[in-house]
Structure 1
Amino acid sequence: MLKRGVERKEIVRALGEVFRAHGYEGASLTLITEATGLGKGSLYHLFPGGKEQMASEVLAEIDAWFELNIYSPLREASDSARAIAAMIAGVDEYFHSGDRICLVGLVALGASRDTFAASVDGYFARWQVALAAVLRRSGLSKGQAQRRAEDALLTIQGALVLARARSDAGIFRRAMSDLTKRLLAPAE
């Protein structure tokens, strides 16, 4: 049972921030109870699968957000330039202009990678496929589109890491500006 006035989505978002700040492995039950305001009993009532279920639900929420705001618009776009601009705007919004790390990327690098391998792979694979599809519609060959889509994900993830490491969100914003130009460049 949720605390009065607290929705499950709010709990899952709070869990996401704990995992983002401490990683899956470092997210102790104490940190989780502090962030959610729920006791251990309430948490296990809501998430009988424990921390693994909590993380799975967080990853599912991230996946749903990206499906709605990134993948689907890319797949459905008829105008490549607008689709890419919308993707970059969505990425900027989600990652708070480079101030927020990628939790999926963090999970991919952690010891829990194998536990969540399908979720992590699906996140990156669907993004790459959707972006490559819009690039194909813009006139790139299949190979060029796939390489540019892969480069885009590399750029986004690398920019997030470097911006965080250097405490300079400007790094992320510049990388996104450059990425837009590279994605829209004519075929080579």
Structure 2
Amino acid sequence: MPKETYIPYLIRLFRQFGYDGATLSKISEATGLGKASLYHHFPGGKDEMVETVLDFLQEWLAQNILTALTSQGDALTRLQLMCERLSELYEGGHQPCMSAILLMGSARDIFHTRVNALFCVWINAIANVLIEGGMDEELAKYRGEDAVIAIQGSLILSQGLNDPSPFMRVIKQLPRQLCTPKPGLQKDD
């Protein structure tokens, strides 16, 4: 089987145990592969497994989020489509974000650059939608950052409360909030 077959197992494990807690024994058990087979598919070990997951997430972002944000329609419609796709990825707020998990522990030093790039692409894509909708470039960038803050924060809160409703509330309200002009809004507001 190609190594891509094991991506759902790896995502589940890294979401559950984090990078440091997802031991080769746990990975072997979840995938059904012996350690030798794991190294056959992933010669770089656990780091290569995470890189494969990040490649998958980058492709998913391009196919789902960036496609939604560059599709036809007004800003509100495109942002709503983005939120629908995010709800699918995070299973309605029941799953944590892999990017956030990879910014903790020893994984941060290894994968920070990749995670940073994913966030930057996402923030800029949101900002571009808002700019196309007539928003000032600087405000649009802040709104893009605020969108990611709201989504990531609601995922953390939903995990902490064991209740997906904060995430679902953000997903429902965010597109309209992003598109609503706030007269006189300043950088420090």
Aligned match of 2:162 in 156, 162, 167?
167
Gaps of 5+ in 2: 184-189
SS of the aligned residue for 2:70 comes to helix
The aligned amino acid for 2:22 is: A
Match of 1:54 in 2: 49
1:22-171 to 2 correspondences below 5 Å: 22-171=17-166
Contact 2:42 2:48 in 1 (8 A): yes
Moved more, 104-113 or 119-128: 104-113
The aligned amino acid for 1:53 is: E
The aligned amino acid for 2:83 is: I
State the alpha-carbon separation in 2 of the partners of residues 177 and 78 from structure 1.
Answer: 18
Give 1:77 deviation, angstroms. 4.1
Match of 1:19 in 2: 14
Please report the TM-score for the alignment, with normalisation by the length of structure 2: 0.92
Contact 1:23 1:106 in 2 (8 A): yes
Contact 1:140 1:187 in 2 (8 A): no
SS of the aligned residue for 1:115 comes to helix
Percent sequence identity is 36
Moved more, 118-127 or 177-186: 177-186
The aligned amino acid for 1:98 is: G
State the alpha-carbon separation in 2 of the partners of residues 111 and 60 from structure 1.
Answer: 19
The aligned amino acid for 1:180 is: P
State the alpha-carbon separation in 1 of the partners of residues 6 and 166 from structure 2.
Answer: 31
**How many correspondences in the alignment?**
183
SS of the aligned residue for 2:176 comes to helix
State the alpha-carbon separation in 2 of the partners of residues 131 and 155 from structure 1.
Answer: 13
Give 1:78 deviation, angstroms. 4.5
Give 1:108 deviation, angstroms. 1.4
Give 1:154 deviation, angstroms. 0.1
Give 1:179 deviation, angstroms. 1.3
State the alpha-carbon separation in 1 of the partners of residues 72 and 25 from structure 2.
Answer: 45
Gaps of 5+ in 1: none
The aligned amino acid for 1:124 is: F
Contact 1:75 1:134 in 2 (8 A): yes
CA-based RMSD of the aligned residues comes to 1.3
